[in-house]
Structure formats: structure tokens, C-alpha cells
Amino acid sequence: MNPEEAAAALSRTNFGALDAVIVCLYLLISVAIGLVVKKYVSDMTTYIGAGRKVGAWLGVATMTGTEMGLITVMYSAQKGFTGGFAAFHIALIAGAVTLLIGFSGFIVVPLRALRVLTIPEFYEQRFGRKTRILGGVMLAFGGILNMGLFLKVGSMFIVGVTGLSSTGWALPAVMVMLLTLVLIYTTLGGMISVILTDYIQFVVLAVGLLVATFLAIGDLGWDRIFLSVAELMGESGMNPVADGSGFGWSYVIWMMITAGLVSCAIWPTAVARALAMESAPAVRRQYMWSSISFTVRFMIPYFWGICAFVYIRDSAAGADLKALFFPADGSEPGIDNLYAMPVYLGRLLPSLVLGIISAAMIAAFMSTHDSYFLCWSSVITQDIIAPLRRGALSDAARVRCTRILILLIGGYVLYWGLLYEGRDDIWDYMAVSGAIYFTGAMAVLICGLYWQRASSTGAVAALLCGGAAVLGLGPVQQLVGLQYRNDAGEWVQRLTGAQVGLITAALSFIAMILGSLLFPDRRPRDSKSKTMKTES
């Protein structure tokens, strides 16, 4: 397909002037919220913790708004597009583990009882200031690297659904516009702004997801969707451990850790909601009910990706796109498969409905970015800059520093989104980059909360071991020889990202245990516990 034909195929969309008005109105409302709530930000606890006055139901809504970001929709749709119904195992794992965390209170309830604002703050209470600073550095590095592609992928949705060109000025222009809006209201309003906008976004997003799903089913039909996947993908499109599925047992186990335990109980943006809750029972209720949304946030976008696959690969209406995404000669596709779902929605949804759905997706984009910007900037302020200063840092200075860091992180996200050209699926990139933080943090949190003999030396060793997860990223693997081209010119991995992550997690626990046994803290655990501020 020549460039002119490709551009014509991608420009076929129902997105019109009315849809653009709907989207613009929503964006203006979000910015107005940031301006209004700025006057309620009086100190650091209010700015990053909303005064710890978030109830269970608002917590469920805002956690769903954050975790159901546009990046989630896009990488999940990509997994559905490439993996079929086999990808559903990730959604089922996420929901089941979140429900177990809600029943047990594992990790999140003890953290809430300690009244900490960030995870590295717990490191200091349990292991000392040096551990806090190192933990803050590892968390900020892994977390900021993790969100590096959020802006680009979210902007790709806007480009795809509106029919703009996938090359040239369109993508960078959309990236700059969306980033500017998020920075304005997050910088001004902090966590109060985040929670209020997340609640609105939760409502809009929930309606949008259901409407688009029903229309997709009506367009293609249940039978056709399942039969096409079974015929074109075979068993690998239904069974995640079948040969050729792209998943396998190591991947399923890796998902139990990343999509399950980490995403709800260790990842800071989710834990931030637990730390902002009004009580421990509210934390448990929040997680039990959020288990539903943690399942849905994966499953519905997977289904959209599957529908896009069937539409493009097996329908007359999508025939003009088939050569772009599935070249007949088996060569590299002419377009990133991340565009498949938004292009399909742009053709499926009628005008007005498309505007509402697009507003819902932009809402999802903003709800994730605001929480992540606030999380990483506050970690750097609270857990790196403040502990390194000899004198105390006032609340006003902390808020000011956090706001400056939000702007700096925003600049990085724009730069990295334009620069990075890895071959990883977006979800796999996020799991591996996040593992730089969470493989070590998982060992430190679990052992620190539940093992009295855990020592600061073990904690430092575990956090440092977590950094080895960077070897799971495609460009790094190519650099060190873990990924190479075979005679056919195809990239082959010696170790997958999931395998690297599992090995790193195991090494972190081993380092934590051995470091604690060989180098115990001099101060008895009972003495140290007296310094930890707990809440009855």
C-alpha cells in the first residue's frame, strides 16, 4: 500500500466538529477544577494525601480513574489485538489478587496504620534514612522511566480516532497540548484536584466503555468474534500457555506478580489511595470493590483489541486496513498496531457518541498522568531532597519543590516519548521498567512489615538487586547481547522480559534474607518499633 492509500485509509473516521466541541468542553472543565481547588492546598499532607479524608466509595472511584488510564486501554487493546482471548488471563489475575488484598489487608493496611505519606517514608521508619533515600531514588527512576511512553501512546489514540496523520506534526502537537493541560491542574491542585477529576473521569469512562463495547458486539456479532479468533489464531488465541501464544507459564507467573500483587499493593499510585483513606476498614472495602474494576480495566480493552483484529483481518469494511497491519508478504507492518483499536473506534462509533467516548479516553489519559506526576514528584521531594537537607524543609517549600518537579518530569515524558523506539509491547515495557523499583520494594515491604529480623543491610541489598530488571528492556538486551538477530533478520531473546523480572524478584528476596541474617541491625527490633508512628 502506497503512502497516499495508507493516509486515506487512516483518515476514514466519524469524528467531526461536534465531537471536537465535546472534547474541548471537558478539557476546560478539568483545568477549571485545578484553579478552583488551589486555595485548599495548605500543606504537604493536603497536597499529596488529600488530608487523609478519602472515604471508601470515593476511593474506589478515584483508584479506578487512575488505574484505568488511556495507557491501560491502549496497551490492553494491543494485547487483545496480538494475543486474542488468551490475554484475558491477565485481567482475571488482577481482579482475584486485588480481592485477596482487600480481604487480608496485606501490605496496604499496615502501611496505612503507620500514617506514612510515601513508601520510602516507611523505609526510614523501619530501616533508617539511607534506605529511604536509596528507595526513593530507585522508585523515582523506575517510576519515571515506566511512565515515559504514557504521553506518546495516549496521543496515538487521539491521532488514530480523529483520522490525523500518523506521521509528521500531528502526534507531537497532540502530545504538547495534552501535557500542558495535565500539568496546569495537577501543579495547582495536587491530590485534591486529582481525586475530584478522577471521580468525574470514572463516571464518564464507565459509560464510555459500556457504550463502545455494546456497539462493537452489535457491529461484528458474538459468534463472528469468537469464530474468527479461533480460526485465525488457533489455540494460541484462547490458551495463554499454548505454543505460539506469546505468553507461556513464566509469563502467567510474572502476571501474578505484576498485574496482581504489584499493581494494587506495591505500585505507589495505587498505594497512595490507601494512604489517603480515612480508616483501615475503608482501605479493605476499597480494595474488595476495586477488584471488579481491576478486572474490567483490562478485560474490556482486550475485547476492543480483539474486535479491531476481527474487523481489520476478517471483514470487508476493514479490507483497506488489512495491508497496513497484516502485509500479505509477511513483511513488517506499515503502521504500529497500537493504532488498530482507535482507528476501529473512529469508524465504528457515530458522531456525538464518538465525542463522548473520546472525552472519556482523554479523561482516562489525564487521570493517570495527574496521579503519576504527583506521585513521583512527591517521592523525590519527600524521600530524596528533604532527607538530604541538613535543615528542615517547610511545607511551603515542599509544595513548591513538588510543583517544580512535576514540570521537569513533564518535560522528560515529552522527550522520552519522542525518542524511545524499543520493540517491546507497551505492557511488557511497563512491567519491566516498573520492575526496577518493585522487585526490590516487594522484598523490602513484605519482609519489613512481617519479619522482625529484616535489617537495613538486607533492605539496601534487595533494592540494589531490583535494578537488574533493566536487563529486560529490549534496547538494553540488544546492548548486552541478550537479544540478537538470527539469519532471517528476526530479533531473538535469550531471556524474555518476564523471565528477567522473575529472576530479579527472586534475587531481591535472597539478598534481603541473606543480608538480614549475615548483617543484623545492632538495635533490637523491639526498640526500633517504638520509633514507628502507628495508628490504633
DSSP assignment of 193-255 equals HHHHHHHHHHHHHHHHHHHHHHHHHHHH-HHHHHHHHHHHHGGGGT-TTSTTSS--HHHHHHH
The average pLDDT across 364-383 equals: 78
Q: Is the pLDDT confidence value at 58 over 50?
A: no
CATH architecture group of domain 3-420:
Up-down Bundle (1.20)
Q: Which of 32-36, 142-146, 316-320, 486-490 comes out lowest in average pLDDT?
A: 32-36
* Cβ atoms within 10 Å, residue 177: 12
Q: What SS3 class is residue 481?
A: coil
Residue ranges of domains in the chain: 3-420
The residue among 534 and 349 whose pLDDT is bigger is 349
Report which of residues 367 and 497 the model is more confident about: 497
pLDDT at position 224? 92
Confidence at residue 506, expressed as pLDDT on a 0 to 100 scale: 96
Nearest alpha carbon to residue 402 among 114, 1, 48: 48
CA atoms within 13 A on the CB side of 524: 3
* 215-249: burial string, b at 16+ Cβ within 10 Å, e else: bbeebbeeeebbebbeeebeebbbbbebeebbbbe
Say yes or no to pLDDT of 526 above 50.
no
Q: How confident is the model at residue 347 (pLDDT cuts 50, 70, 90)?
A: very high
Please count the residues of the chain: 536
Tell how far CA 531 is from the center of its chain: 34
Residue 332 pLDDT exceeds 80: no
**pLDDT reported for residue 177:** 83
> Would you say residue 531 has pLDDT above 50?
no
Range of lowest pLDDT (261-265, 451-455, 513-517): 261-265
Out of 10-14, 33-37, 309-313, which region has the weakest mean confidence (pLDDT)?
A: 33-37
**Separation of CA 290 from chain center:** 16
pLDDT in tens, 429-472: 888 889 999 999 999 999 999 999 999 999 999 999 999 999 98
- Convert the pLDDT of each residue in 164-223 to its tens digit: 876 667 888 888 888 887 777 666 544 455 555 566 666 777 777 888 899 999 999 999
Q: What is the pLDDT of residue 23?
A: 87
The mean-pLDDT minimum among 70-84, 141-155, 487-501 falls in: 487-501
Using the predicted structure, report yes or no on whether residue 503 has a pLDDT greater than 80: yes
pLDDT tens per residue across span 169-178: 788 888 888 8
In 3D space, the residue among 473, 449, 480, 465 whose CA is nearest the CA of residue 510 turns out to be 465
Whether residue 388 is predicted with pLDDT greater than 80 in this model: the reply is yes
Q: What is the pLDDT of residue 252?
A: 94
The pLDDT score that the predictor gives to residue 367 is 67
Residue 21: the pLDDT is 92
Yes or no: say if 199 and 352 are a contact pair by the CB < 8 Å rule. Answer: no
Per-residue pLDDT for 40 more than 60? no
Q: What is the pLDDT of residue 38?
A: 52
